[in-house]
Structure 1
Amino acid sequence: MIDYQAFLNRLDEIPELANWRQSLPAQIAAGLSEDRYGDLPRWKDALAALPNLSPETITLDRSRVGVDGPINEEQRQQLHDALKGLHPWRKGPYDLFGVHIDTEWRSDWKWDRLKDAIAPLAGRNVLDVGCGSGYHCWRMRGAGANLVVGIDPTPLFVMQYFALQKYLCDNTVAVLPMGIEHLPEKLQAFDTTFSMGILYHRRSPFDHLIALRDSLRRGGQLILETLVIEGGPGQVLVPEDRYSKMGNVWFIPTTDTLEAWLKKAGFKSPQLIDVSQTTCEEQRSTDWMTFHSLAEFLNPEDSNQTIEGYPAPRRATFIAEKP
C-alpha cells in the first residue's frame, strides 16, 4: 500500500527535481519509521483492510474530492470501518464510493477563496507545504497541475493520503512525510508553492518565507495563507502562552506587516486576496474528527475572542512572485 515508486519515476522526468529524487527514498523511510511512530502498524492495518474496488468516476474539481463506482453494502461497511481507523480526518471533504468523510475543516471553502485569484495551475509543478492528507493537492491536480508534491511530517496524514491514492490512482500527486526543512537548499524547481496554515507555527517566520522563496523558480508564485490580526504596519501579536488552545503559535502579524515581511524576504508584488474570520461552520467537530475544535477554542461569551482573550482567528491569503 505504501509505495512511492511510480511517483519517484515521475520525478526522473523533471530535470529540476531529478537530484532530489535520489535522496528521497531515505527521507521517506526516516519519515515513516516505526521506531519513531508507534501508531504506524495500526494505521497500516487500516490501509490493508480497505476493500479492492474499481472506480468508474474520479472527481478532483469539486468540493468533495472522491471516486464513485460499484460497491455492495458489505464492502461499504468495510470501507467505512477502515477509513474510520485513520481518525482524525482534519482536511477535506472526501467522498469514496458513497462514504462521505466529513472532515474537521471545510477545506473547499479555503480553496474557493483563492482559486480565481492565483495564476492558473495548468501544466505547472506545484509544492504544497503542510498539506495534511492532501485535499488541496488533489484540487491542484484537478485544476490541471502537471505535478503536485505535498509535504507534511505527520505520518497519519500520509496514511490518509495512501487510503485516497488507492482509489484515485494518480502518480502525479504525492504526500511526502517531511517538513520544508528537508527540501534541498535553493531547490528552485516549482512554478507554484502553497503555504497555508503554517507560518504562525514557525519560530522564525523569515526563515520560512525564505525557504518558500528558494523552492520556487524565477517568476514562480507563492500562495501564503496564515493567521492575522487587525492593525497597522509593524504590529504583531506574540501570544504569551497558548493561542486558541494551540501551544505552537509564535507570530501573528497584521496584513500590512505580513506584506512588509514578504517584501523583505525577497518577494515582489505581494497582493492581499482575502481576509476571513474562521467560523464554527468552517472548522468543527464531526463524526470523522471527534476531538475539540474551534467552538471549544473560543470565548463562550464572545466568539470574537479566543478562550485566552486574544482576537479570534482571522486568516489572510497573499499571492506574491519570486523575482
Structure 2
Amino acid sequence: MIDYSQLYEGLRHIPALRGWLAELPAQVAAGLSEHRWGDLPDWRAALSGLPEITCDSTEFVDSVVIGQAGDATPEQLELLERQLRRLHPWRKGPWEVFGLHIDTEWRSDWKWERVLPHLEPLENRLVLDVGCGNGYHCWRQYGAGARRVIGIDPSAKFVAQFYALKKYIGEELPVDLLPLGIEAVPPNLRAFDTTFSMGVLYHRRSPMDHLRELRDTLRPGGQLVLETLVVDGDLGHCLVPEGRYAKMRNVWFLPTCATLESWLRKTGFANPRTVDVAPTSQGEQRRTDWMRFESLADFLDPASPDRTVEGHPAPKRAILVANAP
C-alpha cells in the first residue's frame, strides 16, 4: 500500500537520523498492522483503486492544489472522488485535487496563516510534525522551503489519506507520514530544526513528558511550534476536566498561556512566548460533506455558545514558540 523505501534511502544521508533506520521499518510495520486496524484492507483497497492521472502542477505556498481541473476525464474524476470518500472522515485540509474540492472539517489553512508569521524561516530545514493527521500542514511546511518533512500520526486512516494524495503529488518528494506516535521517536534524537505539535498536548496524560519528548527531537537552538487548547486565567491555573470536554473523552489539561509558558521553561525550553490566541469559530471547524460526524456546533451549549455542552469554556487555541536548549 505504501512504499517507504525512498524515505529510508533519504534518511541514510542525514547523519542525525541514520540511527533511527535500524528500528524504523519494524515500527512502520507494527503501525500498519491489520491486527491493530481491522479496516486496513478497505483503506488499502481505496488506494489501489485510485485512477491513474498525470499531475503536471502542484501548489503548496498559498494553499494545497494538486493538478488542474482539465487533467482528469469525467470518468477518472468520478472514480477519484469515490475512492477518496472511502477514506471518510477528512479532518484536515482543504485540498484541491484535479478540480475536486475536499472540504474538510477543519480549515487548517486558517491555522497555518496564524502560525506562519512566527516561524523561523523553514528554508532547508529538517521538520518534524507530531500528530499531523493527514499531513496537510506537512505540505505547507514543504511549500515554505523545508528540505525534508516527516509527519507522524498513529492513525492508519490518516496515513492512507496522505498517500492517496501523494500518489499524484509525487512519491519522490521529501515529505512523508509515518504511522507512529512520538513514543516511537528515539529518545534524545536532537535532530530536527523545527518540530510542530499542533492539537496534541491536551490529549496527553502527562503534558510535561510530552514537552520533554518534543524538546529531545530538536537540535540545540531548534524551534518548537506548539498549538493547543488553553483557558483564560493567571499563572498556575489549569482546567482539568473531570469528565469530557467538548464531548472528547481524552482531554486532560487545558492551561492558561502563562502556565504553559512556565511549563516550557520548566522543561528546559528557552524564550517561550505566546504569539497567537484565537477562539475556535464554527467557520473554522464544522461538519461538511467530507466529514459527516458531529463537529464544533454539536459540542457547544446552544443556549450559551461560549460554553461547551459540559459547561466548560468554549475552545480557545493558542500558538506558542520556544527554542530547544
**Residue type of the alignment partner of 1:265:** T
Runs of 5+ consecutive residues of structure 1 not aligned to the other structure: none
Q: CA deviation at 1:161?
A: 0.7
In the TM superposition, 1:139-150 aligns within 5 A as 139-150=140-151
Q: Are the aligned partners of 1:126 and 1:145 in contact in 2 as well (CA < 8 Å)?
A: yes
Q: CA deviation at 1:278?
A: 0.2
Structure 2 counterpart of 1:222: 224
Structure 2 counterpart of 1:209: 211
Q: CA deviation at 1:66?
A: 2.6
Structure 2 counterpart of 1:2: 2
Query: For 2:67, what is the secondary structure of its paired residue?
Result: strand
Is 1:47 equivalent to 2:47 in the alignment? yes
Structure 1 counterpart of 2:235: 233
- Aligned counterparts of 2:35 and 2:75: Cα–Cα separation in 1: 35
**What is the TM-score when the length of structure 2 is the normalising length?**
0.98
Query: For 2:118, what is the secondary structure of its paired residue?
Result: coil
TM-aligned CA distance change 1:125 to 1:226, over 3 Å: same
Is 1:242 equivalent to 2:255 in the alignment? no
Q: Are the aligned partners of 1:191 and 1:216 in contact in 2 as well (CA < 8 Å)?
A: yes
Q: CA deviation at 1:7?
A: 1.2
Structure 2 counterpart of 1:111: 112
Q: Are the aligned partners of 1:65 and 1:135 in contact in 2 as well (CA < 8 Å)?
A: no
In the TM superposition, 1:1-323 aligns within 5 A as 1-68=1-68, 70-169=71-170, 170-323=172-325
Identity %: 57
Q: Are the aligned partners of 2:64 and 2:139 in contact in 1 as well (CA < 8 Å)?
A: no
**Residue type of the alignment partner of 1:207:** D
- Aligned counterparts of 1:160 and 1:45: Cα–Cα separation in 2: 12
- Aligned counterparts of 1:91 and 1:22: Cα–Cα separation in 2: 31
Q: CA deviation at 1:279?
A: 0.6
**Residue type of the alignment partner of 1:66:** I
Equivalent pairs counted in the alignment come to 323
**Residue type of the alignment partner of 1:236:** C
**What is the TM-score when the length of structure 1 is the normalising length?**
0.99
Q: CA deviation at 1:61?
A: 1.1
**Residue type of the alignment partner of 2:37:** Y
Runs of 4+ that moved beyond 6 A: none
Q: Are the aligned partners of 1:277 and 1:315 in contact in 2 as well (CA < 8 Å)?
A: yes
Q: Are the aligned partners of 2:215 and 2:269 in contact in 1 as well (CA < 8 Å)?
A: yes
Query: For 1:8, what is the secondary structure of its paired residue?
Result: helix
Query: For 1:108, what is the secondary structure of its paired residue?
Result: helix
Runs of 5+ consecutive residues of structure 2 not aligned to the other structure: none
- Aligned counterparts of 1:171 and 1:18: Cα–Cα separation in 2: 19
Query: For 1:266, what is the secondary structure of its paired residue?
Result: coil
**Residue type of the alignment partner of 1:158:** V
Q: CA deviation at 1:289?
A: 0.3
Query: For 1:75, what is the secondary structure of its paired residue?
Result: helix
Q: CA deviation at 1:132?
A: 0.4
Q: CA deviation at 1:171?
A: 3.3
Q: CA deviation at 1:86?
A: 0.5
**Residue type of the alignment partner of 1:95:** E
- Aligned counterparts of 2:260 and 2:115: Cα–Cα separation in 1: 17
Q: Are the aligned partners of 2:58 and 2:64 in contact in 1 as well (CA < 8 Å)?
A: no
Query: For 1:115, what is the secondary structure of its paired residue?
Result: helix
